[in-house]
Copies of this chain bind each other. A is one copy, B any other.
Amino acid sequence: MELFAEDGFEATTVAAIAERAGVTERTFFRYFTDKREVLFAGEEEFEGVFVDAIAAAPEGTSLNGLLVAALDAGGRVLQDLRGRDFARARNDIITANEQLQERELLKLAKLSRAVTAALVARGAGQVPARLAGDLVVSVFGAAFARWVAPGETRDLVELQRDGLAAVSELTPVEAG
Question: Which residue of B102, B130, B132, B171 contacts A106 across the interface (Cβ within 8 Å)?
Answer: B102
Q: Which residues of B contact A162 (CB under 8 A)?
A: 127
Q: Does A84 contact B (CB under 8 A)?
A: no
Asked whether B142 lies within 8 Å of A164 as measured between CB atoms, the reply is no
Question: Which residue of B98, B105, B131, B163 contacts A170 across the interface (Cβ within 8 Å)?
Answer: B131
Q: Which residues of B contact A38 (CB under 8 A)?
A: none
Q: Which residues of B contact A172 (CB under 8 A)?
A: 62, 64, 168
Asked whether B171 lies within 8 Å of A168 as measured between CB atoms, the reply is yes
Q: How far does the alpha carbon of A68 sit from the alpha carbon of B170 in the complex, in Å?
A: 13
Q: Which residues of B contact A164 (CB under 8 A)?
A: 175-176
Per-residue contact bits, chain A 149-176, to B (CB 8 Å; 1 contact, 0 not): 0000000000001111111111111111
Of A5-13, A24-32, A49-57, A133-141, the segment with at least 4 beta carbons within 8 Å of chain B is A133-141
Q: Shortest beta-carbon distance, A18 to chain B, in Å?
A: 23
Provide a sorted-by-A list of 21 A–B residue pairs whose CB atoms are within 8 angstroms.
Answer: A62-B172, A68-B176, A98-B106, A102-B102, A105-B105, A105-B106, A105-B108, A105-B109, A127-B146, A127-B166, A128-B170, A131-B138, A131-B139, A132-B170, A135-B135, A135-B138, A135-B167, A135-B170, A164-B175, A168-B172, A168-B175
List 6 tightest A-B contacts by C-beta distance, closest first: A168-B175, A134-B138, A105-B105, A102-B102, A168-B171, A165-B176
